């Protein structure tokens, strides 16, 4: 029972790097992490949608988190990864990130959730809160907002 | 008994019975004296009642029961069929349909008692008897059933073929001495019955309420395991009358007949005493002799029983050789076949790159290719179902519309056996219904107008389906008023859909196509049949979502024809692979007419748009590189490869950089996350693992 309690308020996050900043994605939404591969461009779609890839026989759409969050697009490096995310609302979607660093476990006490007012600010739109880990700050992504449709 | 495992079969069967009832009652409306039809209706109603009862759906059972009573009286010539009866019965069928859909969604029949319909049914019943005595339901059941079954049963008393062990004879004789009656019953289950064991179980249960089953042949265990043909025999010890037991047995649904006989002491000890009767029924050659000798010498009667049974087995019709399979299992199979084809494609492309292999390797690859193609075709065929299941409900609908709109009309259907992929068949019902309603409401004129125009008073609506190459065509045609192009034009201008200037330059066909725009209805008054403005655009988008197309041809005063064209299958198609710059695209072979090499100098301009004149036909050019924002390696002055595609009878030329070749491709959805691009209908995975997009030629027009 004790163990159950601890797992309940401790959440594992995968820490990724985008434009020098650290972001955390709740591990329960992550299906897979794959290396950069050939992306087939799809015409006439939002600019942050990069196209589709073949993931073991399935066609999966891929988006750039840089494009979506307003960072400048950069050339892919050897560290570039596609994180395959499964969300009920959007299905399976690949998200391109600069680098995948590590997996951290944060307890509820380490996380400061944003209030509704804080979310109104542009830079906080895609975040659910900030986590503290070993003196570092990790912005925790609100995936539904990250994946939601936005005309650019 | 737990019946939940039978729920699906129950649903399937009751839908079949309902459909059958609908069809037969339509028949009956035309020919109210037809005894065959009446019998068929009675049988279907009876089975439906039995099934509902077995599954414990009391309300449904009651309603069907009352309907059955009416037809029982009709069958006995006590009631004449009139339009009132037909109307009530149709209402009754609708109510039953509601029960079934309730059951389907929640495994519960719902709370609606439909007392109004039951009262009307009973009123019809009482109307014939004249008196005010409302038949108590259960009592009526007991009365009607034997009336219906009795003549059949009485015509032929069963031949008693008993196989009794000594101790059984002893038990029976003992019972007889105690003043109990011993009956012999030969029960026959309908050939079409699926749940024979369940039916037999119900017979056992019914009989055990009245008496005791001393012997059954085959044994109770065998019957439970469904190890019997269609007949089984019972020896029953009971105080009740023969009739009562017979009624109890025959009221179980799908029991074709139950022949009963009171046994005497002689029967028990002497086997078959009624040689004469046995002679009538037993096989011509051997059995009579056997039974006769049996009567005189009284040996074990088992011998007489055996040939009689064999004979029946031989005469049994061949069972329908089909299996019901859950569509999901077929989807899985289809996906696996898709995977196999992708793997095969990779192998083919790998073999193409490597020049070192031997010819036998190539042969094997070709063999593999032909096997996968055949496999795909077979799986596809398995998924095909006749459109019958969808169109069957239309005659009834037209009949109702005819009453509602007060117009005379008749629906003629052909090609109901045409097959389409199951997923398509499930989706096609609504659009077709829409078109038919449209024809009935907007298309056909009222009887007076038709008379004035010299047309037959009864309007005709045709529904024709047929296969045309890789497509299935479904046509809805009427001989009504046709589309009034002027009216459409005026309405469109009034609505601001088009300007007066635009209207002047538009062809009739273009104007008729306006009907497919959202919120466009020309009905002068809004009826609940059609004319709510949510019509043809929905039809069009539905058909297009099935990768099909819909077209209309119309002549004012003579009628309209709506043509729906659907691909045979959705999952795997033959496609032409083309290159634009570095990108590869697939175009469905089904929409391609020809491929042409065109010189840049042959391009002409009409209204500043590029066209070519191909053998006398002017065809607009569409540069795919522009439509798809794809960088091309060609300049405007280079010669072009033009893929001529058709949509209905319109043509367009798609300009591509290069042709790669024909290939069997597996269509994969782009998913809901990327759905903005109208020109792309999906994606496929190529042999080298790369994803190529599929260009929807229809969307280019």
Q: Angle at Cα B698 formed by Cα B693 and Cα B701, nearest 5°?
A: 115
Contact status, residue B393 vs residue B430, Cβ threshold 8 Å? no
> Measured between alpha carbons, how far is B297 from A132 in angstroms, rounded to an integer?
103
Residue numbers in B near A56 (CB within 8 A): none
Confidence band of B161 (pLDDT split at 50, 70, 90)? low
CATH number, domain containing residue B209 = 3.30.70.1110
The reply to whether residue B670 touches residue A44, judged by beta carbons under 8 angstroms, is no
Q: How many CA atoms lie within 13 A of B319 on its CB side?
A: 11
CA distances from B33 to B25, B38, B147, B399 (A): 12, 8, 20, 19
Contact status, residue B235 vs residue B28, Cβ threshold 8 Å? no
Q: Give residue B462's pLDDT.
A: 92
Number of H helices, E strands in chain A: 4, 11
A38 touches chain B (CB under 8 A): yes
Confidence band of B313 (pLDDT split at 50, 70, 90)? very low
> Measured between alpha carbons, how far is B123 from B79 in angstroms, rounded to an integer?
12
Among B13, B29, B68, B445, which one carries the catalytic annotation?
Answer: B68
The rounded mean pLDDT for chain B is 77
**In a domain? residue B318:** no
B677 touches chain A (CB under 8 A): yes
**In a domain? residue B149:** no
User: Helix/strand/coil (H, E, C) string of B532-553?
Assistant: CCCCHHHHHHHHHHCCCEEEEE
Structure tokens at B593: 């007419």
**In a domain? residue B133:** yes
Give which of B627, B630, B625 is closest to B641, Cα–Cα.
B625
User: For the packed helices B422-438 and B536-545, what is the interaxial angle rounded to 10 degrees?
Assistant: 160
Question: How crowded is residue B691: how many other Cβ atoms within 10 Å of its Cβ?
Answer: 24
User: What domain range is B675 assigned to?
Assistant: 572-700
Judge if B237 and B355 occupy the same domain: no
- Which phi-psi region, left, alpha or beta, contains residue A135 (left: φ > 0; alpha: ψ -120 to 50)? left
Helix (H) or strand (E) holding B510: helix B508-513
Mean pLDDT is lowest, of A122-126, B527-531, B651-655, for B527-531
The reply to whether residue B673 touches residue A90, judged by beta carbons under 8 angstroms, is yes
Residue numbers in B near A54 (CB within 8 A): 685, 689-691
> Beta strand pairing status for B459-468 and B409-414?
parallel
All residues at 6 or more sequence positions from B102 whose CB lies less than 8 Å from its CB, including other chains: B108, B109, B110
Give which of B684, B678, B630, B683 is closest to B657, Cα–Cα.
B630
Judge if B392 and B347 occupy the same domain: no
Q: Give residue A81's pLDDT.
A: 94
Confidence band of A150 (pLDDT split at 50, 70, 90)? low
Annotate B459-481 with DSSP letters as a single string. EEEEEEEEEETTEEEEEEEE-S-
Q: Give residue B151's pLDDT.
A: 41
Number of H helices, E strands in chain B: 25, 22
Phi, psi of B538 (to 5 degrees): -65, -40
Among B22, B114, B345, B438, which one carries the catalytic annotation?
Answer: B438
Q: CA torsion B197→B202→B204→B210, rounded to 10°?
A: -170
**In a domain? residue B286:** yes
User: How far is A88 from chain B, CA to nearest CA, in Å?
Assistant: 11
Q: Give residue B291's pLDDT.
A: 42
User: Helix/strand/coil (H, E, C) string of B339-395?
Assistant: HHHHHHHHHHHHHHHCCCCCHHHHHHHHHHHHHHHHHHHHHHHHHEEECHHHHCCHH
- Is residue B173 predicted with pLDDT exceeding 60? yes
> Measured between alpha carbons, how far is B85 from B95 in angstroms, rounded to an integer?
15
* Chain segment B638-660, per-residue pLDDT in tens: 888 999 998 878 899 999 999 99
Contact status, residue B258 vs residue B246, Cβ threshold 8 Å? yes
Based on the residue annotation, tell me whether B77 is a catalytic residue of this protein. Answer: no
- Is residue B252 predicted with pLDDT exceeding 70? yes
- For chain A, the straight-line distance linking the first and the last C-alpha, in angstroms and rounded, comes to 48
Q: Give residue B267's pLDDT.
A: 67
Give which of B141, B139, B137 is closest to B149, Cα–Cα.
B141
- Domain count across chain B: 5
Based on the residue annotation, tell me whether B68 is a catalytic residue of this protein. Answer: yes
Judge if B501 and B648 occupy the same domain: no
Residue numbers in B near A52 (CB within 8 A): 670, 674, 683, 691, 693
Mean pLDDT is lowest, of A5-9, B488-492, B649-653, for A5-9
Judge if B391 and B381 occupy the same domain: no
Q: Give residue A13's pLDDT.
A: 92
Contact status, residue B589 vs residue B574, Cβ threshold 8 Å? yes
Q: Give residue A53's pLDDT.
A: 92
Structure tokens at B181: 């009656």
Examine the fold and report which residue of B567, B601, B616 is the final residue of a domain before the chain moves on: B567
All residues at 6 or more sequence positions from B463 whose CB lies less than 8 Å from its CB, including other chains: B391, B394, B411, B412, B413, B414, B432, B436, B474, B475, B476, B477
How many CB pairs lie under 8 A apart between chains A and B? Answer: 69
Confidence band of B2 (pLDDT split at 50, 70, 90)? low
> Measured between alpha carbons, how far is B565 from B470 in angstroms, rounded to an integer?
10
Phi, psi of B82 (to 5 degrees): -130, 175
> Measured between alpha carbons, how far is A132 from A138 in angstroms, rounded to an integer?
6
B679 touches chain A (CB under 8 A): yes
Contact status, residue B55 vs residue B10, Cβ threshold 8 Å? yes
Q: How many CA atoms lie within 13 A of B595 on its CB side?
A: 14
Q: Give residue B49's pLDDT.
A: 84
Residues 340-379 of B with CB under 8 A from A: 342
Judge if B172 and B130 occupy the same domain: no
Q: Give residue B98's pLDDT.
A: 85
Confidence band of B163 (pLDDT split at 50, 70, 90)? low
Confidence band of A119 (pLDDT split at 50, 70, 90)? low
User: How far is B626 from chain A, CA to nearest CA, in Å?
Assistant: 10
Examine the fold and report which residue of B550, B567, B584 is the final residue of a domain before the chain moves on: B567
Give which of B571, B598, B572, B549 is closest to B697, Cα–Cα.
B549
Judge if B274 and B341 occupy the same domain: no
Among B17, B22, B29, B46, which one carries the catalytic annotation?
Answer: B46
**In a domain? residue B449:** yes
Judge if B694 and B614 occupy the same domain: yes
Annotate A20-84 with DSSP letters as a single string. TEEEEEEGGGEEEEEE----B--SSS-TTEEEEEEETTEEEEEEEHHHHHTPPP----TT-EEEE
Helix %, strand %, coil % of chain A (to 5) = 20, 50, 30
Examine the fold and report which residue of B83, B110, B139 is the final residue of a domain before the chain moves on: B139
- Is residue B343 predicted with pLDDT exceeding 50? yes
> Measured between alpha carbons, how far is B449 from B438 in angstroms, rounded to an integer?
18
Q: Which residue carries 């019902």 as its tokens?
A: B429
DSSP bridge pairs for B621: B653
Confidence band of B355 (pLDDT split at 50, 70, 90)? low
pTM here? Answer: 0.49
* Chain segment A75-115, per-residue pLDDT in tens: 888 999 999 999 887 788 999 999 999 999 988 888 888 77
Judge if B263 and B162 occupy the same domain: yes
CATH number, domain containing residue B585 = 2.40.50.180
Structure tokens at A16: 């990724």
Judge if B590 and B483 occupy the same domain: no
Judge if B398 and B424 occupy the same domain: yes
CATH number, domain containing residue B369 = 1.10.287
Domains of chain A, earliest start first: 2-147 (2.40.50.180)
- Mapped onto helix, strand or coil, the DSSP state of residue B199 is helix
Structure tokens at B555: 């002549």
User: Helix/strand/coil (H, E, C) string of B304-340?
Assistant: HHHHHHHHHHHHCCCCCCCCCCCHHHHHHHHHHHHHH
Q: Give residue B487's pLDDT.
A: 82
Q: pLDDT: is B55 or B656 the higher one?
A: B656
Q: Give residue B156's pLDDT.
A: 43
- Is residue A38 predicted with pLDDT exceeding 70? yes
**In a domain? residue B360:** yes
Report, as an integer, the average pLDDT of B343-371: 80
- Is residue B526 predicted with pLDDT exceeding 50? no
Q: pLDDT: is A2 or B400 the higher one?
A: B400
> Measured between alpha carbons, how far is B403 from B592 in angstroms, rounded to an integer?
45
- Mapped onto helix, strand or coil, the DSSP state of residue A109 is helix
Give which of B186, B192, B250, B241 is closest to B50, Cα–Cα.
B250
Residue numbers in B near A61 (CB within 8 A): 670-671, 673-674
Q: Give residue B372's pLDDT.
A: 87
Q: Give residue A4's pLDDT.
A: 47
> Measured between alpha carbons, how far is B425 from B386 in angstroms, rounded to an integer?
8
Judge if B257 and B211 occupy the same domain: yes
What DSSP designation does B443 have? I
B689 touches chain A (CB under 8 A): yes
Percent of chain B residues topping a pLDDT of 70: 81
- Is residue B122 predicted with pLDDT exceeding 50? yes
Judge if B177 and B255 occupy the same domain: yes
**In a domain? residue B150:** no
Based on the residue annotation, tell me whether B438 is a catalytic residue of this protein. Answer: yes
CATH number, domain containing residue B408 = 3.30.565.10
- Is residue B141 predicted with pLDDT exceeding 60? no
Confidence band of B213 (pLDDT split at 50, 70, 90)? confident
**In a domain? residue B313:** no
Reported residue count of chain A is 152
């Amino acid at each position: 029972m004790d163990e159950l309690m601890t797992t309940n308020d401790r959440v594992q996050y995968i820490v990724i790097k985008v434009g020098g900043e650290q972001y955390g994605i709740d591990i329960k939404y992550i299906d897979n992490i794959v290396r950069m591969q050939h992306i087939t461009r799809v015409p006439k779609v939002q600019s942050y949608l990069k196209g589709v890839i073949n993931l073991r026989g399935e066609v999966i759409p891929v988006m750039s988190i840089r494009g979506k969050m307003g960072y400048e697009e950069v050339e892919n490096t050897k560290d570039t990864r596609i994180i395959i995310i499964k969300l009920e609302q959007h299905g399976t979607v690949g998200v391109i990130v600069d680098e995948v660093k590590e997996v951290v476990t944060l307890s509820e006490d380490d996380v400061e959730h944003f209030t509704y007012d804080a979310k109104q600010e542009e830079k906080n739109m895609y975040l659910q809160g900030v986590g503290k880990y070993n003196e570092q700050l990790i912005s925790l992504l609100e995936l539904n907002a990250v994946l939601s449709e936005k005309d650019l | 008994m737990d019946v939940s495992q039978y729920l699906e079969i129950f649903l399937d069967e009751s839908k079949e019975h309902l459909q059958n009832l609908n069809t037969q009652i339509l028949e009956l409306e035309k020919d109210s004296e037809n005894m065959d039809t009446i019998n068929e209706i009675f049988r279907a109603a009876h089975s439906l009642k039995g099934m509902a009862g077995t599954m414990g759906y009391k309300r449904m059972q009651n309603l069907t029961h009352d309907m059955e009573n009416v037809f029982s009286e009709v069958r006995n010539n006590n009631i004449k069929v009139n339009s009132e009866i037909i109307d009530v019965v149709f209402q009754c069928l609708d109510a039953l349909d509601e029960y079934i859909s309730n059951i389907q969604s929640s495994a519960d029949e719902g709370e609606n008692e439909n007392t109004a319909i039951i009262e009307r049914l009973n009123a019809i019943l009482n109307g014939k008897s004249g008196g005010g005595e409302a038949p108590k339901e259960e009592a009526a059941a007991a009365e009607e059933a034997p009336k219906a079954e009795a003549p059949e049963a009485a015509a032929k008393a069963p031949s008693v073929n008993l196989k009794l062990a000594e101790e059984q004879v002893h038990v029976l004789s003992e019972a007889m001495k105690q003043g109990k009656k011993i009956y012999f019953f030969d029960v026959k289950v309908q050939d079409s019955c699926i749940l024979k064991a369940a039916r037999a179980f119900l017979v056992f249960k019914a009989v055990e309420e009245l008496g005791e089953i001393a012997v059954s042949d085959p044994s109770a265990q065998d019957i439970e395991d469904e190890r019997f043909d269609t007949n089984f025999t019972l020896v029953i010890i009971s105080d009740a009358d023969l009739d009562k037991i017979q009624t109890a047995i025959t009221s179980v649904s799908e029991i074709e007949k139950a022949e009963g006989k009171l046994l005497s002491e002689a029967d028990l000890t002497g086997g078959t005493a009624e040689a004469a009767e046995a002679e009538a029924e037993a096989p011509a050659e051997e059995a009579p002799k056997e039974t006769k000798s049996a009567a005189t010498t009284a040996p074990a009667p088992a011998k007489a029983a055996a040939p009689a049974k064999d004979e029946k087995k031989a005469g049994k019709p061949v069972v329908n050789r089909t299996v019901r399979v859950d569509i999901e299992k077929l989807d899985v199979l289809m996906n696996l076949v898709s995977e196999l084809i992708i793997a095969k494609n990779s192998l083919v492309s790998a073999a193409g790159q490597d020049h070192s292999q031997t010819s036998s390797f190539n042969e094997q690859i070709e063999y593999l290719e032909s096997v996968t193609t055949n496999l795909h075709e077979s799986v596809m065929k398995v998924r095909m179902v006749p459109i019958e299941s969808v169109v069957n409900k239309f005659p009834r609908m037209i009949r109702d519309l005819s009453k509602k709109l007060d117009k005379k009309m008749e629906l003629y259907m052909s090609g109901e056996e045409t097959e389409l992929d199951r997923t398509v068949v499930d989706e096609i019902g609504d659009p077709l219904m829409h078109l038919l309603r449209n024809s009935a409401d907007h298309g056909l004129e009222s009887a007076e107008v038709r008379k004035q125009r010299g047309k037959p008073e009864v309007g005709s609506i045709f529904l024709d389906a047929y296969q045309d190459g890789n497509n299935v065509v479904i046509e809805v045609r009427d001989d009504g008023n046709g589309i009034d192009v002027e009216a459409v034009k005026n309405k469109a201008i009034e609505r601001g859909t088009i300007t007066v200037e635009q209207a002047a330059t538009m062809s009739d066909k273009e104007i008729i196509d306006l009907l497919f725009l959202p919120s466009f209805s020309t009905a002068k008054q809004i009826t609940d049949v059609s004319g709510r403005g949510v019509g043809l655009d929905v039809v069009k988008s539905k058909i297009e979502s099935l990768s099909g197309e819909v077209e209309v041809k119309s002549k004012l005063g003579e009628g309209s024809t709506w043509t729906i064209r659907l691909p045979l299958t959705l999952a795997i198609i033959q496609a032409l692979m083309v290159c634009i710059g570095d990108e590869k695209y697939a175009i469905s072979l089904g929409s391609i007419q020809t491929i042409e090499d065109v010189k840049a100098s042959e391009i002409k301009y009409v209204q500043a748009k590029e066209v070519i004149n191909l053998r006398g036909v002017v065809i607009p050019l569409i540069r795919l590189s522009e439509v798809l924002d794809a960088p091309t390696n060609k300049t405007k002055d280079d010669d072009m490869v033009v893929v001529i595609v058709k949509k209905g009878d319109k043509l367009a030329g798609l300009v591509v950089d290069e042709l790669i070749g024909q290939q069997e491709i597996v269509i994969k959805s782009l998913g809901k996350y990327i759905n903005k691009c109208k020109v792309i209908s999906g994606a496929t995975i190529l042999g080298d693992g790369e994803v190529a997009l599929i260009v929807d030629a229809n969307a280019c027009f």
